[in-house]
Amino acid sequence: MNTPSKSKQVEVVTSARLHMGFFDLNGSIGRRYGSMGVSLNAPQTRIVVSEGNAFVAPDYIERSKRVLMQHLGVESPIAIKVLEEIPRHAGLGSGTQMALAIGIAISHLFDLKLSLREIAQYIGRGARSGIGIGTFATGGVVLDGGVDVEKQVPPIIAQHPFPAQWRILLIYDHGFVGVHGSAEQQAFKVLTDSSLASTQQLSHQVLMEALPALVEQDLVTFGKAVSSLQAYNGDYFSPVQGGRFASRRVSEVLADLYSHGIKCAGQSSWGPTGFAIFADQTSAELHMQRLQSQFQYPQLGWQICTANNHGAIVNIRNKGELLG
């Protein structure tokens, strides 16, 4: 039986991610999905894990913990204290980040030396997208290579830093819950494949527009590719989410941004959170102030953040040093 040091605590800090979309919803080549996303510096998930029963976490967190403990043969009681948490079911990857944080903390607590791919497989993450795993590992902008016929966790095939001066505006709809759980699984069962021609064109744009533009810090060209990616995904998932974007309120905001020439904008994953990328802090603030004045829905929330160009942070300390 694995036994941790009773004086050890493991703190894990990880952050939200944007899932900008899949670039292969056809799958005829033998791999399917493949996606692009970026790690954000906010909002964050921060947990502290130690031996014992000092804290009782919410049920969905306890379930992840129990699954991991069962797979790993861990019998000692483990306490998880949640200090910060990414909003759930908002399209920002909260579930994957929390599960990976718990897994990496248990691995350090018991000196198990688990890889992120192993943790993801144990808890059933990465069934379609590897973006959350990639951003947890390295931060920045990541591409995964989709899943193969054996349904392995998607490999990360590219990673680049996000330009430091660019800013990301998050548009929240606190009155809307994004598709998740069994509804998400059912959606993928009923949707039919995208055309091979549109998939090939989009893959070409991701490779020959998005990635070079990112390296060259060309927001206009990068935004053009992101816009195509959003259209491809929005049209594909429209029968399930009721339109190109899930939230009517966020959709109105995005339409306004497009009308003002902001093309690097869209919805993260199933939403409802929308995003827009600007060249600098001043531009982001000016647009946010204008939007706040124009769209006064009480359900909407706004946040300017940057990308996170490093992976999750793990701190191992003695008890008392983290919780104070």
- Residues 290-310 have pLDDT tens digits of 999 999 999 999 999 999 999
Q: For each of the domains in the chain, give its residue range(s) and CATH number, in order of start.
A: 8-318 (3.30.70.890)
Closest CA to 207 of 268, 145, 135, 258: 145
Closest CA to 220 of 299, 278, 148, 153: 278
- How much is the pLDDT for 293? 97
Residue 226 has pLDDT above 90, yes or no: yes
* CA distance linking residue 39 with residue 114, whole number of Å: 22
For 82-106, write each residue's pLDDT tens digit. Answer: 999 999 999 999 999 999 999 999 9
Mean pLDDT value across residues 235-257: 95
Confidence of residue 12 (pLDDT cuts 50, 70, 90): very high
Provide the pLDDT confidence category of residue 321 given band limits of 50, 70 and 90: low
Position 324 confidence tier, pLDDT thresholds 50, 70, 90: very low
12 by DSSP, 3-state: which?
A: strand
Query: Which residue do the tokens 């990616």 mark?
Result: 229
The confidence score (pLDDT) of residue 62 equals 86
Q: DSSP state, 47?
A: E
pLDDT above 80 (res 318)? no
CA distance 123 to 63: 10
